[in-house]
Structure 1
């Protein structure tokens, strides 16, 4: 199939992009990397009269340190995240999730902001944003605001962004000290969306107790999920007293609506999800121990 007719706009500044969104209202759609939107347009699962391409706005790309926070411009590509030596050190969970996204050609075009704003519950970056308490910067003709990741994802492909609002950057805290990070997922083929997966970050104190942790889940709900019950169960506990299998079970215990489709039943996804959390927890904890 072919996409329906639309007007293409390529602003060179953020102000121009906002003006176009204000002018065309809900008949306009922001185009980031286009790796999800373009196929949807081609299959006519989505129809818009105007596309506003953000790819030529330099102020939306780049990786920058601001104290203990790493600010990543929304137009920064997956490849830039994957290849960044700095991110591998400061936000390793994000850097390790990047190679699992699609294929090389997709990562060359896809962007951090596009992946998070698309809000696919089986995508890696939304789960990482939740697990690490990311803060999302947005701007609209009414001004700028910051949205916590936990309040950003409302449903499948649905977020707290208004129609005339643009996601401009994502701020991730840089974890320091005795920390470990791991990503585990099960997919039919490399590059496919995960049937179920988990991202885990953990920090140990000097007595080998869990000081804090973040567990994000993908493919296990209508939105990316956070395993808060499992996090609360292990925080403050000596690492050697924690049963990794129980962490996986606790992560599944509060899930409300696990999807079922041709790739697997809800029960199957729960079992896979528990196994992915268990594996990711073991790897992250081992890394935290080893420093």
Structure 2
């Protein structure tokens, strides 16, 4: 079990990894990756029960599905920093013949990746299928998914929400990155989602709020609370309120860094804002 300081240090290092990966190839999605860092670090370092001796079936361990697969720099950094593959491999991100594609894929055989994701709207359906399979296999472990709030504009999401609630799939925890922004602007302007809590509850989901998804203590408490509510005849959702681009002042408060790499001057400024750690850059 990591202590709070260790989790915060890892979060800082993951942010440095994200920026370096995206900058090196002038391509990728830094905004959402930086915003969800505390969540992913907490999930893999403190919450999930898994083995780095990776097996595709995920039997007898917790499973995570990144539905908004464009924030792959975050997932790759956390997988590497928790022992799934060498940290040095992060330098191959988005390069030809790399296992670290722009969106997670299974063809390259990267440990930690069980499904190709990033075609938005599909990850929750896949997660529900995995959760049902665990029940059929008498596997008491959980399935975790992460969705973007803009992703909830996809119709398939609501079919999946309806199915899981109606069928009492109570071994899944879906987290929504509620940062209020997507590629074209604020979610309220693109397609207003209304009250997500009311909608989720009407679909028979239990809902947990994390008011500050960039505060590690709040993230840990929210994940612990969500886990305690599983197995009670309802699927569980976490509304994780984050800031896109968190940790870099000029990336916060705008959708513009959803899918844009910093230039050299911006990169220097960003890296100066996130101090070096004892974990060291790759």
Fold in common (TM above 0.5): no
Q: Which has the larger radius of gyration?
A: 1
User: Taking structure 2 as the reference length, what is the TM-score of the superposition?
Assistant: 0.29
Q: Which has the higher contact order (CA 8 A, sep 6+)?
A: 2
Bigger proportion of residues as helix: 2
User: Taking structure 1 as the reference length, what is the TM-score of the superposition?
Assistant: 0.28
